[in-house]
Structure 1
Amino acid sequence: MFQDFILVGDRPISIQVKEYVKRLIIKGALQADQKLPSTREMSGLLKVGRNTVISAYEGLEDDGFTYTISGKGCYVASKVNHLALDNGGASWQIDWKERMNEYAISAVELDLMKQGIRAPKGTISFTSIAPDEQLFDLSDVRRAFMDRMAIEGQVLLNYGYAKGYKPLIDYLMHYMENKGVDISGKDMLITSGFTEGFDMVLSALRPSTRRGAAICENPTHHTALKNLKLQGFEITGIPMDRDGIHVERLENILQTNSFDVAYLMPSYHNPTGIVMSPEKRISVMKLMMRYQIPVIEDGFNEELRYSGAHVAPLIATAGQGNGVIYIGSFSKVLFPGLRVGWVLGDRTLIDSLESIKRSRTIHTSTIDQSILYQYLLNGNFDKYIKKARTEYKRKYELTKACCEKHIPEAQLSGDGGLHVFLTFPSDVNTHQLLEACTEQGVIFTPGDRFFIQKGEGINTLRLGFSRVTDENIEQGIQIIGKQVREFLKS
């Protein structure tokens, strides 16, 4: 015994010794009322200092795993004796797959991360559309954390409010007002990113007596499709033009079908990268108002405007109307690790969402909210977004030029953001293309996973360039182009 103790570098040694002995006690290797080796003996057995063992033994007693008899030593406490069910030695087994309901099974089937490509090290990967961590200004984030902790650290470490951290809510309300949003009659809920906010809104709007009906752009954000399906919505997709959703097709569908909700991503749409034109935004909002369909607006990548004038979000075009629910996040621009997003909408809706939030997760991390608030308050966001826009615009233009040079067979869409979308001739299957490219050390995201119906978009793909070096952008796109030509030949 005591021969399998291995030190790891980063943790205090006394804690490692305490946890090692605790595991032996829990497993039953050390029995109730058994005397532990003296601190001097244990020091020799584990090859650590005697003071370290003394500290570990004190910790074990504090945790209730041992007791001390004065002048005799340290003993294992009887109440932590190894327990086992008396069932003839057989372990208790449940077939959890049989217990899973339809929701859980569907969640697994729709989980792209579990179905993702396991590429070897050195592969050029265009699959990510996360921000480049090399752009993160860590000193400013560290300063924001220290500033806020100095002001109210003890408060931040306690429970927060379901609705969110009020200073951040006030800041973001003003931020949205600066986008042209009329905030009268509206309120805000802070969430743990876009996905939680979207899921809560859907759960609040889902009909209770029938399947819900949703309308959206086709293709669209896969996570949104996944949550719509998990919440039981039937989804109708409207194809897109170069400047956004096809308005005529949308109107035709609305004339013959009723919908509970519309989900739209007007700026730097995922996956196409298209920015809906101001004219189309007005036309779409008029249709939604005429047919009384609530709109969930996804503010995805709205800040990554590379050229042209600011385009107001849909919620701004609604004026004092309350038909638009805006879900925002800085995850694709700032720091995804800070799981902070927000839902802006009618006060009555937000009041209900607050109660849903409280029943699910109590509140979003107050520390995360406060760090983001202080970072924004310190004026760091404007400085960061200027730097990020410059770098991502350069990478966008490089990616676009490489696609035009090496993959002329594809039609490219994308006005900015962190990705471009390629559409090939109908006889190109991008899953087969991916297999060929993977063998050459390049991977990307096939586009069909963003479409509503199976078999749609099989000739499309998304290229995320935000975390790819310039050299790998050109090399990877050149390899894709070569494989496309090989594919077309065959």
Structure 2
Amino acid sequence: MDIKEFFKVNFEIEVPKYVQIANNLKNLIETKVIEDGEKLPPIRDYTEFLKVNKITVVNAYKKLQQEGFAYQKVGSGTYAKKKEVVSTFMREYSNTFKRLSTGNLEEAIDFAGETTGELLFPIKDFKDIINKVLDRDGAEALVSQNPLGYENLRKTINKVFWGNDLDNEDILIVSGAQQGIDIASKAILNINDNVIVEKPTYGGALSVFRWRRANIFEVDMEEDGVNIESFEKVLKKNKISCFYTMSYFQNPTGISYSLEKKKKIMELAQKYDFYIIEDDYLSELIYDESVDYIPFKWLDKNDRVVYIKSFSKIFLPGIRIGYIVSPKIFKESIQNSKINTDIATSSLMQRALEMYIAEGKWKENISSLSIEYRKRYKLMTRLIDSELKDSVSYNKPGGGLSFYLTLRDEHITSKLLFQRLVKKGVYITPGALFFRNIKDGNKTFRIGFSQTDKDKISKGLKIIREELELCRI
């Protein structure tokens, strides 16, 4: 191999040579002299080029891998890995919603929200439940208990949602789905391990895997889940540690997996020895009777699924409670990761949630939410078909809280649309937030209806249509 001059290092006496080599390579990667994914010089060639010991180059490459600037392919060599940074647009998007949260929310049309609107919160019921818990348990309700979670809550989750098919000890209470993903990734992934995600996928999960310095492989979504052929190609070429998936009403696409694809992925998990992190997102909100609820975890004969469920998204976002069901192999490490993260989740909220579920209030709340959200879903479907039919394409999700739209006009980007709509008091989620490379999301955006009533849905979609028409002028 002909090693270019920029790989040369003018060694200083005070600093170990392997550190100087690694620092030079980091600088070349950060400044894009060495491109992301470009192969670094073979160890033997680089040793001769620099006139150093082989172990010096080996240690330099190990340092790069440990710091997330390189990864190794067995039998192939070491490759550069550009550390991802927050884009200017990501910051702009974040700052927009920080300003919105401190401004006048009443007038805003928020199609970007992902949680239940405050008017649908079961405030009175939950207040009564909290009073009952305090009357029953007194001060004990305010004291942190088992770091695995309130025992009766774990038992009730097992009974109500799993028919007592689980071991109570396999259920871990966490502070929402985001913490669940973080805890699961810490248990499964090491630096430079490989993870497959859906393309596009939940931005919060991408952030977790980036922080773990994992190598992220994206596989395109089809109408019933990931493309299996592409999925297996990645598996054949790379040692994959886990696959992150949202099996129902995937965020952002709204796609639900077919039973056939779920079974195939379970087979591949066993064949290629990887684990599945299943984020069961909004599966309670099914409006289309053709959608059957059969999560990956129900098909898990080989104990390969980490199941994550949050109660925050459609119940009370402020309580931040969810749970994980983990495979036996990761049970201890997931529990330790939870303890190291925040020791325990609110004891009072856990006890209140347990009583809320045990007394049947949870099912009543979901039933009333489904009635209201089904109305909004149907209205939004009708209005997208009438107001935006010439501007976007989409697949009907059949449930959940949002729609994922693709712009037809090649000259309009979702970033431009977002910026124009903000000035009109309408907020959408551009597709850029759901891809490793934000350019992949240029033509897509998500709109949700959980934070909007019927009048705002009608008004907001009319404004979107008008702005799309103005973009063409």
Instruction: Tell whether the structures are fold-level matches, with TM greater than 0.5.
Output: yes
| Alignment check: 8 A CA contact 1:273 1:417 kept | yes
1:385 alignment counterpart:
366
1:142 alignment counterpart:
127
Query: Hey, what's the Cα distance between the residues in 2 that align with 1:113 and 1:439?
Result: 13
Q: Cα–Cα, structure 1 residues 295 and 353, in superposed 2: closer, same or farther, change >3 Å? A: same
Partner residue of 1:333 out of 305, 314, 317 = 314
| Alignment check: 8 A CA contact 1:107 1:230 kept | no
Query: Hey, what's the Cα distance between the residues in 2 that align with 1:115 and 1:230?
Result: 21
Letter of the structure 2 residue corresponding to residue 296 of structure 1? I
State the SS of the aligned residue for 2:306: strand
State the SS of the aligned residue for 1:455: helix
Aligned residues: 384
1:174 alignment counterpart:
159
Structural mapping, 1:365-444, within 5 Å = 365-408=346-389, 409-413=391-395, 414-425=397-408, 426-444=410-428
| Alignment check: 8 A CA contact 1:127 1:463 kept | yes
Query: Hey, what's the Cα distance between the residues in 2 that align with 1:376 and 1:334?
Result: 11
1:204 alignment counterpart:
187
Structural mapping, 1:207-218, within 5 Å = 207=190, 210-218=191-199
- Runs of 4+ in structure 1 off by over 6 angstroms are 107-113
2:81 alignment counterpart:
none
| Alignment check: 8 A CA contact 1:278 1:311 kept | no
2:441 alignment counterpart:
457
Letter of the structure 1 residue corresponding to residue 458 of structure 2? E
1:472 maps onto 2:452 in alignment: no
| Alignment check: 8 A CA contact 1:149 1:156 kept | yes
How much does 1:186 deviate? 7.1
| Alignment check: 8 A CA contact 1:126 1:443 kept | yes
1:10 alignment counterpart:
none
1:313 maps onto 2:298 in alignment: no
| Alignment check: 8 A CA contact 1:214 1:235 kept | yes
1:127-161 C-alpha deviation (Å, 9 max, x unpaired) = 10111221222222122112222221222222311
1:22 alignment counterpart:
none
Partner residue of 1:116 out of 63, 87, 96 = 96
How much does 1:107 deviate? 8.0
Partner residue of 1:300 out of 256, 278, 281 = 281
Structure 1 range deviating more: 166-175 or 295-304:
166-175
Q: Cα–Cα, structure 1 residues 446 and 161, in superposed 2: closer, same or farther, change >3 Å? A: same
Q: Which consecutive residues of structure 2, in runs of 5 or more, have no partner in the other structure? A: 1-66, 69-83
Query: Hey, what's the Cα distance between the residues in 1 that align with 2:138 and 2:248?
Result: 37
Identity, % of aligned pairs? 27
Structural mapping, 1:226-375, within 5 Å = 226-308=207-289, 309-319=291-301, 321-375=302-356
1:132 maps onto 2:128 in alignment: no
Q: Cα–Cα, structure 1 residues 348 and 146, in superposed 2: closer, same or farther, change >3 Å? A: farther
| Alignment check: 8 A CA contact 1:189 1:350 kept | no
State the SS of the aligned residue for 1:237: strand
Query: Hey, what's the Cα distance between the residues in 1 that align with 2:465 and 2:242?
Result: 40
| Alignment check: 8 A CA contact 2:194 2:238 kept | no
1:24 alignment counterpart:
none
1:2-51 C-alpha deviation (Å, 9 max, x unpaired) = xxxxxxxxxxxxxxxxxxxxxxxxxxxxxxxxxxxxxxxxxxxxxxxxxx
2:37 alignment counterpart:
none
Query: Hey, what's the Cα distance between the residues in 2 that align with 1:324 and 1:312?
Result: 13
Q: Cα–Cα, structure 1 residues 150 and 113, in superposed 2: closer, same or farther, change >3 Å? A: farther
Q: TM-score, normalised by structure 1?
A: 0.74
How much does 1:185 deviate? 9.8
| Alignment check: 8 A CA contact 2:235 2:272 kept | yes
State the SS of the aligned residue for 1:343: strand
Counting helix residues as a fraction of each chain, which structure ranks higher?
2
Q: Cα–Cα, structure 1 residues 182 and 245, in superposed 2: closer, same or farther, change >3 Å? A: farther
How much does 1:106 deviate? 5.7
Q: Which consecutive residues of structure 1, in runs of 5 or more, have no partner in the other structure? A: 1-100
Q: Larger Cα Rg: Structure 1 or Structure 2?
A: 1
| Alignment check: 8 A CA contact 2:158 2:165 kept | no
Letter of the structure 2 residue corresponding to residue 286 of structure 1? E
Structural mapping, 1:185-196, within 5 Å = 187-196=170-179
Letter of the structure 2 residue corresponding to residue 318 of structure 1? D
Q: Cα–Cα, structure 1 residues 287 and 348, in superposed 2: closer, same or farther, change >3 Å? A: closer
| Alignment check: 8 A CA contact 2:195 2:216 kept | yes
1:158 alignment counterpart:
143
Letter of the structure 1 residue corresponding to residue 343 of structure 2? I
How much does 1:382 deviate? 1.1
